[in-house]
Structure 1
Amino acid sequence: MSGELFPRTRSEIAPGAVHVPDWLSLDEQRNLVASCREWARPPAGLRTVKTPGGGVMTARQVGLGWHWFPYGYARTAVDGDGAPVKPMPSWVASLGRAAVAAAYGDGGGLDETADEYDIALINFYDAEARMGMHRDADEKSASPVVSLSLGDSCVFRFGNTETRTKPYTDIELRSGDLVVFGGPSRLAYHGVPRVYAETAPPELGLTGRLNITLRVSGLE
């Protein structure tokens, strides 16, 4: 946002966890929002996720490449309509690699052949949705997680690797922001305790928040 008293700059949230404000241009954001709308359509479209304990996630989700369900991955929407998961577009995988380079510099230590981003999890938050503290621990790869924000701003809570409670750091994520976390922070607990309604750039035509999380599965 222009004209701010304290301009937002790249920062390290924790060792290996980097926040890059305004990484996506407005055109890139518009393209991603349009793509998310297509990916959200059935079959294997946007769904409500239920946990084994009977809980219901308030953020709805769709996956590309692999379908995530509590707590594993499949090639079909096993807890949805059972349809084959949509493929991971190569341009989205390339976006993941570019994001790591932007956060860490150069190639970010990724192996050109082994570290291919083959999972995209897209979560849609309305004004009342939240995401509890959790770890992205169902992958067999230790490659960094890439998180892209679109639409409404939110509070992003980034914690430690041992517990869901303090110490943690709260930062505001806005549309176009990038967060990458790997290395010692790869398995840190994180969540979204609040979404700020009606804060999305009007040019996106989006009510709510989209979060695109890119991961390397390490799966066969």
Structure 2
Amino acid sequence: MEIEPIDRTSLLDLLAYCDREYEEEGMEELVDKLIEEEKKKQPFEMGKYLEQIPDYQTTLKGTNGLLNKEFERISSGKPLNSFNSSNYIVSKPKDKSLKDPKQWKKSIKRLELSTALQLQRNENLTLMSKFSSNSWLDYNRGLGAYSNNIRKRTQQIEEQTLDLNRARKFEQEQITNKLKRFKSRWYETVDRNLKTERACKNLEKEIEELEKKNLKK
């Protein structure tokens, strides 16, 4: 039994040091807009969801007579009626009913019902003995194979997710080290430039002093 491929992008863990989409300009406004649109589709008052959902009895009331009777029975706390087996008891009319055609017809009808019930039971037993155990075994084997495939697929996705997160973390750490090196070089360059600028100013002062001395001579 094969499992349909799963979109891996929806299962990736978000990394706090890498995923910053929510901080992008305009993203917060977009999220708030989507939330407002969803609230318009479901106009429920906050904290009172269940009170605003119609009761199941009022929803189904009037659609079916048997359901209405069952609702009334449950509301009144009456127990469920037991199975009436009298319709399946086969017996001939007794005493004065022996000469009543209607009673004989009722007895014949009960006999037909009882015969049909026994035939159905026999068919069910035959089908059960032939297919039931094997069918359940096949079904259970199928469920076991499906469960194993899901377990393997889940393990693969978890491993892929961990590998991807490790790679992304490693890349971020490498970039961080590069930034630190560049920052250190920048400070060194700035320091050299300042020293060079200071030395140039000192030389300019010395040149001015020498020129003044030469003019005095």
Give the TM-score, by structure 2 length: 0.14
Q: Which has the higher helix share?
A: 2
Give the number of the structure with larger relative contact order, counting CA–CA contacts within 8 Å between residues 6 or more apart.
2
Higher Rg of the two aligned structures:
2
